[in-house]
Chains A and B, each alone.
Chain A
């Protein structure tokens, strides 16, 4: 997937703040497919199909990018991390609202597929995903961003360097340390 172009996020962000609407579209286009996949994997599988999820993500991105005063790129965080965090909050609300059954009514009773489970929980195991998320929450914001970008969003070192600033090599080292921290926290819990 090549939704991440080489144009630095910072440049697009400056254009956006200068009132350039094309920059916002560019940013939405850059992040939408990846964040849609990510969100779809984390919403309860009975709640929304992929195109519904895409609508949710698109609305969120446009809204967040229109009110960017909450985000300072130089503050250490990346725009992608900021958007992912904002989306996570929206999704949590969504999940609270829709706690209803899906369409698997014909399942034999007591069978696994709990429609409250996200596709990710079903793919990797609910208990494992929960342990991962609890441990992740104990890392610094920066460490969380690094781990989420690689493990959950699948960005490679070069793509992460574009998002975070710095060189791919520096990203690799920082990511390795953050993951070692995550393993440490997981080992303790």
Chain B
């Protein structure tokens, strides 16, 4: 049953993309606000938040990361404040070596403390052995790293030879290798893997621009720092691309290398991109070379197929191209559109503007009833979705999508005054009921089941879910008497006139900016109503919480 003409949207309606105002990105801005809070609270921003912002707010995300990095740097400098340290295992130069972390074929890695910097560092000491490269080559890693300063590449502090041992020391990353995460937590989701891929494209782009290549990209050489930063480490195998023909025969991990390299071809930056494709496959499948699980979207499959194509000419030639396609995957998976007029220095940020807006939501509370045995006043309300097949009551865990049409069904044994409010993730408040122009007005009749919003005199109406907010909350207040304070509050707002295909006007501009927090507008309404709601025999309220579901 298609009823576009008879079931006009009342909540918000989509406008053409070229007509979007900043408010249309309310959901994205709420994500940015959440990310700011997470940075201020030194929490790890969650993957999907960052993923949405990568697509829609790349410049602001980068700006926020600068703040996060400065905050993390300051935290690190404060970290050992007032702590009593045990004596070091040994000293190497000025460094106090605390703890052995790993032993490899050619090096040992320690956690050490640098008293000059006042922070912990990772110290990698060269290990003599039959299979070790010479110390000079070992120190070359430090010189290579020193040429690149990029947040997805481990930062180096120095290199030297002490007591006959060559060593380099660099950032101590508080986190875990992706290989450990894979082992402990299993395969990553498509969104997570695409996010990791984008970050590593940044790292590789910086390396390649400096004339370097990594040459041993694999999950064990990528760390995820607490806080979510992805860091490429261990450039021991890599080096100057121009020297590649002679220097890299013996380095690399076969699972992640293209056939022509295994056959002896000279190493090139493009081989890093192939390795990245294999790495992402491993993150998705759990082990390298295993088939991708069913849930991986086609878009990501084709990106990875191209990255790891047998024919070198089909593969990505530049990290930026690989990154652009991964961003496209994220845009499809998270349903977030890029800004219509991107204020960005990224050359490719405008190309996603045509991506459809999709909001999926989970309803947490759907049915509320007050039928206590002693209650004289009985009310029951149900939130329903209109579908081509009819109506379905929304239950916990249901998903909603843009275009879904909702109605509220209510029955009461007494005439009741009903107020329905909606607030999206940006704190923009909408009045959904009562609205001028509707046939139904307060008080609603008793003894019969009424459906809101009802009719406008001619057509059967519903509220249509639109926009891209990750969060939608609904507050329904039912009262035996009209709630004067609430009505005044709504009256002070711009007249919430109902007009088919236009949507109601927003109230948010009238609210003090301090209310622009999660659910703040609704919380303020509830604060005002608190004395009335204390008496359930007079007024009752219920809130419905919708959130974006896992990307499909």
Contact = CB atoms under 8 A, between A and B. Distances in A.
Interface string B106-149: 00000000011111000000000000000000010011011001
B159 interface: yes
A103 B114 CA distance: 13
B67 A179 contact: yes
Contact of A173 (B39, B156, B514): B514
B69 interface: yes
The interface centre, meaning the residue of B74, B78, B81 with most chain A CB atoms within 10 A of its CB, is B74
A186 B67 contact: yes
A187 B119 contact: no
A90 interface: no
B160 A107 contact: yes
Interface string A12-42: 0000000000000000000001100110110
A49 B159 contact: no
A125 B32 CA distance: 23
> Chain B: interface secondary structure?
helix
8 contacts: A1-B78, A103-B116, A104-B158, A123-B73, A129-B70, A176-B33, A180-B36, A187-B343
A110 B139 CA distance: 12
A151 B74 contact: yes
A53 to B, nearest CB: 9
B36 A179 contact: yes
Among all A-B residue pairs, the 5 with the closest Cβ atoms:
A124-B73, A186-B63, A123-B73, A41-B77, A112-B146
Given A108-B143, A186-B66, A187-B59, A41 B73 contact: yes
Contacts of B119: 119, 123
B45 to A, nearest CB: 13
B175 to A, nearest CB: 15
Given A125-B151, A179-B39, A180-B33, A119 B158 contact: no
Nearest to B116: A45
Contacts, number: 150
Contact of B77 (A113, A123, A182): A123
Given A37-B78, A103-B94, A183-B60, A128 B142 contact: no
Contacts of B160: 104, 106-108
Nearest to A38: B74
Contacts of A135: 63
A151 B71 contact: yes
Contact of B117 (A122, A132, A154, A182): A122
Given A106-B162, A119-B117, A186-B63, 5 more contacts: A40-B77, A41-B73, A103-B116, A107-B158, A177-B513
Contact of B36 (A37, A110, A127, A183): A183
Interface in B503-522: 513-514, 517
Contacts of B74: 38, 41, 120, 124, 151-154
Contacts of A180: 32-33, 36
Interface string A156-189: 0000000000000000010111011011101100
Nearest to B139: A108
A86 interface: no
Contacts of B158: 104, 107, 111-113
